[in-house]
Amino acid sequence: MIRINNQDEYQHYYTQALNEPNEFWSEVASSFTWRKPWTSVSTGDFENLDIKWFNGAELNITENCLDRHLKTQPHKTAIIFEPNNPDSATRTFTYKELHTEVCRAANMLKQQNVKKGDVVCFYMSMIPELLIGVLACARIGAVHSVVFGGFSSKALSDRINDCKAKVLITNDSGFRGTKEVLLKNICDKALETSPSISTVIIKKHSGSPVNLKSNRDFWWDELTNKITSSDCLPEVMQAEDPLFILYTSGSTGKPKGLLHTTAGYMVFAQYSFENVFQMKSDNDIFWCTADIGWITGHSYITYGPLLAGVTQVMFEGVPNWPDAGRFWQTIDKHKVTHFYTAPTAIRALEACDINLVKKQNLSSLKVLGSVGEPINVEAWDWYNKNVGHKNCPIVDTWWQTETGGIMISPLAGITNTIPCFAMSPLPGVQLKLMDAQGQVVEENGVEGNLVITAPWPSIARTIYGDHNRYKDVYFSDYKGTYFTGDGAKRDDNGFYRIIGRVDDVMNVSGHRIGTAEVEDALNQHPQVVESAVVGYPHNIKGQGIYAYIICLNKCEGEALKTELLDTVTQQIGAFAKPDKIQVVSGLPKTRSGKIMRRILRKVANNDTSDLGDTSTLLNPEIVEEVMKRNTL
Ligand code: 7RM
């Protein structure tokens, strides 16, 4: 492993990774447990897109997350589970105990006939069995596909069908604050249209009643109780064998199943975790508040911290229950030293009673992190002052589902930060900014589209089942480079500030949602003829969703609104519900029939002073109507 300890080392390694990438990555990878060494560090490029890292190597990622720590620190706490209800008991797992649980679950999956390469889907609460189940898959070479528990049965079914998952693992129901989510019921509904699933395994969690379908549904506890062996030899995996699929939204079409492979993802997860967060003491405690249903929970709950052998908190609940002090109380309760959350949570809590944060001690904190969306200055200052007591570096970490790990970030305590800046790429990450003409912008003090010019170990290797789409979405805008979809500013000193998406992807409370997905959902309503969805700035969510719709008949306000919101909840999930809906008689279109989103965006932003060139519009008269902004 390479651990960067100061700014000089950062410069040194940045240069080494650029000029001698093989030497650099070999050194990073040297500390892992390999069953067989690699024959080449990296092959392939962004032209042929047959990218391979550590090819020829054999390994198992769970051997690196668990077994290797058993020799040195078997009794160190791996997971401190903080349940939804603060009065319920905390559960802890040492590395040894977690190893045992993962092995038992792995043996259970084997007994259910899960084989290397099979896809196992998870639709679960943030409970230890989710993490255990995911690692159990990796133990036996099954590919996990975690679907966030806030998705609807329709969205779950779509994702299961896309990757033809064989087994579905869920729990009876889960609580998020006071709200009960009937996960098993939602699974039952999804499975009406998902024939690939032959087995459902249910972890009993809330105790709420569920229907069991015979020969299909089994209780997790009954199956694992029958397992006698608490050891399971790790399946020996090839470096490029698939590790997981994770769905994410794009600017067009259905969500994409990004496929991550074993060795490169593993190496980058630990490398980025250790260098960004800089956990130094054995008593340091990490807490990432993300859900394992998103990439942040994959790389910085399930894999990164365990690979690094640290202690972490896993949290089932929500930031505002029993009150908006839950994060701060939990930090004190478990003496969290490294806290990683999203700007949307910071903004929401900033809007609550300040005494909830003031009354907590928070003196255990050493490092704060931010992820998922651009952080605004007010939130950054509030986080720094009220949570960090101006004593904790803030690492604003930019990355994506596609990148597998953190790409641009300060290194905690090493990089001098500028508020709201992600600062500089990690050594091994090569960035450029492109202008509208597709030319590289070399100078500083500019904005441009953010691209990555060379492969890094944890880049997603393909979109599952659609390699052409992968090429098209990421590598066709700028030939030979990976286009992130984000815009960024590079200041006079070469430091980066991420501006946000430049495509039709919205970021709503840190949830990545395609405008096309919400449009497709709205169009399912029988009254909707056509719709257009754009994001607009929202105080707490970062972005809100503004939907313009054309209706078939006369539209009745409240009733229609409720129905439309229900439709989106059913098609995607409640988190994708539009904040504003405006019924219009037409949408501004070009002569070639394209919706002029620029105009809709400006109207939704309430910034109509300059609508730009509207001369190519087929129906310019519609602009005036749209500008009325009379939402339902
Ligand atoms: C990790 C994650 C990716 C999109 C990405 C950006 C936005 C993420 C930051 C950020 C500004 C950040 N993966 N994004 N981190 N924008 N500053 N530190 O969120 O696939 O779900 O989303 O999120 O637009 O393209 S993701």
The atom of ligand 1 lying closest to the CA of 422 is: 18
CA distances from 186 to 182, 190, 218, 621 (A): 6, 6, 16, 45
- DSSP calls for 159-222: HHHHHT-SEEEEES-EEETTEEE-HHHHHHHHHTT-TT--EEEEE--S-------TTTEEEHHH
Q: Which residue puts its alpha carbon closest to atom 18 of ligand 1? A: 398
From ligand 1's centre to the CA of 234, what distance in Å?
33
CB under 6 Å to ligand 1: residues?
248, 294-296, 370-374, 396-401, 422, 484-486, 498, 500-501, 507, 512
Q: Which residue puts its alpha carbon closest to atom 19 of ligand 1? A: 372
From ligand 1's centre to the CA of 179, what distance in Å?
27
Candidate of 299, 370, 373 to mutate for ligand 1, largest count of ligand atoms within 8 Å of Cβ: 373
Q: Do the Cβ atoms of 42 and 56 come closer than 8 Å?
A: no
The atom of ligand 1 lying closest to the CA of 402 is: 20
State the pLDDT at residue 590.
87
The atom of ligand 1 lying closest to the CA of 505 is: 24
The atom of ligand 1 lying closest to the CA of 294 is: 21
Q: How confident is the model at residue 557 (pLDDT cuts 50, 70, 90)?
A: confident
Q: Is a pLDDT exceeding 90 seen at residue 556?
A: no
In eight-state DSSP terms, residue 228 is -
Mean pLDDT of all residues belonging to the chain: 96
**What is the C-alpha separation between 41 and 39, in angstroms, rounded?**
7
Q: Do the Cβ atoms of 130 and 111 come closer than 8 Å?
A: no
**What is the C-alpha separation between 380 and 342, in angstroms, rounded?**
11
Q: Average pLDDT, stretch 105-113? A: 98
In eight-state DSSP terms, residue 20 is -
Q: What is the pLDDT of residues 401-444, one digit of tens each?
A: 999 999 999 999 999 999 999 999 999 999 999 998 999 999 99
Q: Do the Cβ atoms of 462 and 259 come closer than 8 Å?
A: yes
From ligand 1's centre to the CA of 237, what distance in Å?
30
Element (H, E) at 318: none
Q: What is the pLDDT of residues 229-271, one digit of tens each?
A: 999 999 999 999 999 999 999 988 889 999 999 999 999 999 9
588 three-state secondary structure: coil
416: number of Cβ within 10 Å: 10
Q: Which residue puts its alpha carbon closest to atom 26 of ligand 1? A: 400
State the pLDDT at residue 558.
84
Q: How confident is the model at residue 553 (pLDDT cuts 50, 70, 90)?
A: confident
Q: What is the pLDDT of residues 121-130, one digit of tens each?
A: 999 999 999 9
- DSSP calls for 391-416: -S-EEEEB--TTT-S--B-PPTTTSP
Which residues does 554 contact at the CB level (< 8 Å), separation at least 6? none
The atom of ligand 1 lying closest to the CA of 498 is: 11
Token pair of 464, please?
A: 């599952």
Amino acid, res. 530: E
Q: What is the pLDDT of residues 453-509, one digit of tens each?
A: 999 999 999 999 999 999 999 999 999 999 999 999 999 999 999 999 999 999 999
Amino acid, res. 370: S
- Look-up of token digits 């409370």: 509
**What is the C-alpha separation between 210 and 173, in angstroms, rounded?**
9
From ligand 1's centre to the CA of 171, what distance in Å?
29
State the pLDDT at residue 253.
82
Q: What is the pLDDT of residues 138-193, one digit of tens each?
A: 999 999 999 999 999 999 999 999 999 999 999 999 999 999 999 999 999 999 99
The atom of ligand 1 lying closest to the CA of 374 is: 11
What is the phi/psi pair of residue 395, to 5°? -105, 115
Q: What is the pLDDT of residues 275-333, one digit of tens each?
A: 999 999 999 999 999 999 999 999 999 999 999 999 999 999 999 999 999 999 999 99
Q: Which residue puts its alpha carbon closest to atom 22 of ligand 1? A: 400
Rounded CA Rg of the chain: 24
Q: Is a pLDDT exceeding 90 seen at residue 37?
A: yes
Q: Do the Cβ atoms of 295 and 152 come closer than 8 Å?
A: no
Element (H, E) at 548: strand 542-551
For residue 54, give the nearest of 182, 226, 238, 229 by alpha carbon. 238
Beta bridge pairs of residue 93? 79
Q: Which residue puts its alpha carbon closest to atom 13 of ligand 1? A: 400
| Burial group, residue 385, by CB count within 10 angstroms (0-12, 13-18, 19+) | exposed
State the pLDDT at residue 592.
81
What is the phi/psi pair of residue 204, to 5°? -75, 125
State the pLDDT at residue 593.
83
Candidate of 276, 376, 512, 515 to mutate for ligand 1, largest count of ligand atoms within 8 Å of Cβ: 512
From ligand 1's centre to the CA of 487, what distance in Å?
11
Candidate of 245, 398, 483 to mutate for ligand 1, largest count of ligand atoms within 8 Å of Cβ: 398
Q: Is a pLDDT exceeding 80 seen at residue 555?
A: no
For residue 388, give the nearest of 439, 337, 446 by alpha carbon. 337
Residue 447, CA atoms < 13 Å, CB-side half-sphere = 9
**What is the C-alpha separation between 154 and 191, in angstroms, rounded?**
9
From ligand 1's centre to the CA of 390, what distance in Å?
25
State the pLDDT at residue 613.
82
Residue 473, CA atoms < 13 Å, CB-side half-sphere = 26
Q: Do the Cβ atoms of 96 and 74 come closer than 8 Å?
A: yes
From ligand 1's centre to the CA of 535, what distance in Å?
15
Q: Is a pLDDT exceeding 90 seen at residue 81?
A: yes
- DSSP calls for 77-115: EEEEEE-SSTTSPPEEEEHHHHHHHHHHHHHHHHHTT--
From ligand 1's centre to the CA of 109, what distance in Å?
33
State the pLDDT at residue 22.
97
Token pair of 288, please?
A: 């990432």
From ligand 1's centre to the CA of 376, what distance in Å?
14
State the pLDDT at residue 509.
94
Q: Which residue puts its alpha carbon closest to atom 8 of ligand 1? A: 372
From ligand 1's centre to the CA of 374, what distance in Å?
8
Cα torsion at 424, 429, 434, 439 (round to 10°)? 130
Q: What is the pLDDT of residues 454-464, one digit of tens each?
A: 999 999 999 99
**What is the C-alpha separation between 15 and 206, in angstroms, rounded?**
52
pTM: 0.96
Token pair of 214, please?
A: 């015979």
For residue 128, give the nearest of 221, 231, 234 by alpha carbon. 221
252 three-state secondary structure: coil
From ligand 1's centre to the CA of 400, what distance in Å?
5
From ligand 1's centre to the CA of 298, what distance in Å?
14
The atom of ligand 1 lying closest to the CA of 397 is: 18
Percent of the chain topping pLDDT 70: 100
Token pair of 390, please?
A: 């101006």
From ligand 1's centre to the CA of 451, what distance in Å?
14
Candidate of 247, 296, 368, 371 to mutate for ligand 1, largest count of ligand atoms within 8 Å of Cβ: 371
Q: Average pLDDT, stretch 608-612? A: 84
**What is the C-alpha separation between 548 and 535, in angstroms, rounded?**
11
The atom of ligand 1 lying closest to the CA of 500 is: 24
Which residues does 10 contact at the CB level (< 8 Å), separation at least 6? 4, 411, 414, 415, 424, 427
Lowest mean pLDDT among 81-95, 152-166, 541-555, 609-623: 609-623
